[in-house]
Amino acid sequence: MAGRGAYLHNLRSCWTSGIKGGLAHALKMELTEKDLDILKSYMETLPEIDPYAEDQVNNG
């Protein structure tokens, strides 16, 4: 619906949490199985951890 949106970090862990219910709540709508399948498919392309955060940890 117009005017509704949600932001998820570009990390698989954020999308996993969002898909479990937070995203539907933020959008104030129910996600269909088709919606969830599409979102899960995209989620699989995302990194599990932030490559920049890992670099910062390893390099001080």
The predicted-structure confidence for 12-38, as pLDDT tens digits, reads as follows 988 999 999 889 988 888 999 999 999
Let me know if residue 6 belongs to a domain: no
- The share of the chain scoring above pLDDT 90, in percent, equals 33
Let me know if residue 37 belongs to a domain: yes
What DSSP state is assigned to residue 31? Answer: P
- What long-range pairs does 9-15 form, CB within 8 A, spacing at least 24? 9/50, 10/46, 10/47, 11/46, 11/47, 11/48, 11/49, 11/50, 12/43, 12/44, 12/46, 12/47, 12/48, 13/48, 13/49, 15/39, 15/42, 15/43, 15/46
Domain count, the chain: 1
Please determine, for residue 56, whether its predicted confidence score (pLDDT) is greater than 60.
no
Structural domain that includes position 29? 12-58
d(Cα 20, Cα 12) in Å, to the nearest integer?
12
